[in-house]
Structure 1
């Protein structure tokens, strides 16, 4: 299954290259597995940062880069794709934790 993932920039230097990427992922991938997959390449930068995963304008999960805490880890991406009108597009929104 193909998905498109994009994310906010975290600083001016982070704006140099686009963050939208397309991946071929397993049909049964969960939000937790997506997060783990993306973190292998350090796709979600930041120390003590919270990232919100959104699909179709709705927040699906949040991930803290310091504590590795993830809400709603067992949500299947394919279920979101089939239920929503946004297709295979997922966006990570940057939110600094304090």
Structure 2
């Protein structure tokens, strides 16, 4: 299935290249696998200081927090959810939240 992916820019210089793209993943791929796939390919920008915080929205709903200083994301949804179960169109949007405390952000989206 084709998954729409986009992310916020982290700085003005980051705006020069487009971030929106599509990736082809199996319908049986999980949300966690899709995030791991994008992280392995360095889709999310790193920042100096090493504390970038991102919110992942799956089909417009806040679903996880990803922090540059964390080894793994923290999911507010079941990370084993298969992409195919999310509907015929799936979008993953990573919203940059600067260097705010990722644990506080996670508490906000989980609650």
TM-score calculated relative to the size of structure 2? 0.73
What is the deviation of 1:55? 2.7
Contact 2:56 2:63 in 1 (8 A): yes
1:70 pairs, out of 60, 73, 84, with: 73
Q: Which blocks of at least 5 consecutive residues in structure 2 are unaligned?
A: 102-111
Contact 1:5 1:90 in 2 (8 A): yes
Q: Secondary structure at the match of 1:78?
A: helix
Stretches of 4+ aligned residues off by more than 6 angstroms: none
Larger radius of gyration: 2
Q: Secondary structure at the match of 2:84?
A: helix
User: In the alignment, does 2:92 pair up with 1:90?
Assistant: yes
Alignment: residue pair count: 94
Q: 1:51 to 1:81 in 2, by over 3 A?
A: farther
What is the deviation of 1:26? 1.3
What is the deviation of 1:80? 2.3
Contact 1:31 1:61 in 2 (8 A): no
1:6 and 1:30 mapped to 2: Cα distance? 18
What is the deviation of 1:49? 1.8
TM-score calculated relative to the size of structure 1? 0.81
Q: Which blocks of at least 5 consecutive residues in structure 1 are unaligned?
A: none
Cα deviation digits, residues 5-44 of structure 1 (max 9, x gap): 0000000110001101111101111222112111222101
What is the deviation of 1:89? 2.1
